Amino acid sequence: MMESHAPVPRLSFSGGVARESQRSLPAEVAVALSYNGSTHAVMMATPADLPDFARGFTRAEGIAAPEEIERIDVVETPLGIDLQIWLEAGAAARQAQRRRSMAGPVGCGLCGLESLEEAVRAAPKVQGALRMTPAQVMAAVADLPKHQPLHDMTRAAHCAALWTSNGIALSREDVGRHNAVDKLVGAMAQTADSAALILTSRVSIDLVQKACAAGFSVLIAVSAPTAAAVQMAHVAGLTLIANARPDGFDCYTHPHRLTDPKEVAHVA
């Protein structure tokens, strides 16, 4: 199995002195997602937690429900990794209707889509019962760095984390922010209606689509959203919190899920 990171030589300049050293950097390989023998997409991703990636991508893209996946085969090739995902007949037929061919950088989750309508498809409506206090939002963001071992080692990986009332319960990392979300969704054992999704990245419309498809009703990000992401979150009923830090945050949509009126008055 391929390693998720590797040491790379470097020449570091600091204080007027150059030093030879090594730094661990995240691995990035071509990962094909194939359904019933036909390639659907090719992503550049970190070669870790790949079955999670396959399940999460399948669910977050609305291709199939977890119970419609018959099996996942991880096949290494000289050029990369082929995730061979085998779907039940009904799901396979649906997947064929919205197939996309995609080969792009890790920063892009929409490369190669065959129609603009598909790229801006409406996010599923969310109704989750989760409520959070502002103190919980800030505590969750403060706790996030403890769940980023690959980032600590490389300083070049995004993280997606699952927060419940007991704190951060699960996290996944990848060089691609979309890949990190897919891996997290694929690894989740519980439903997302009582959990929040925390991201180390900016929020674009495709991440709102993925969050809603997975059933999250609260999305927290340490960076800013796009205007289109805010509008999509508003229509979908998703509480979108961004620019989150241990000492504050911005709530862009549906602040009713923040439960202390005294604390949220300045962000609502």
Residue 50 to residues 9, 45, 174, Cα–Cα distance (Å): 27, 9, 11
Single out the catalytic residue among 108, 111, 159, 212.
108
DSSP H/E element including 140: helix 134-143
| Residue 111 among the catalytic residues | no
**How many other C-beta atoms lie within 10 A of the C-beta of residue 211?**
31
Q: Nearest 5°: phi and psi at 262?
A: -65, -40
Helix (H/G/I), strand (E/B), else coil: 103: strand
Chain centre to alpha carbon of residue 240: 15
Contacts of 168 (CB under 8 A, 6+ apart): 140, 143, 144, 146, 147, 161, 162, 198
Catalytic residue IDs: 108
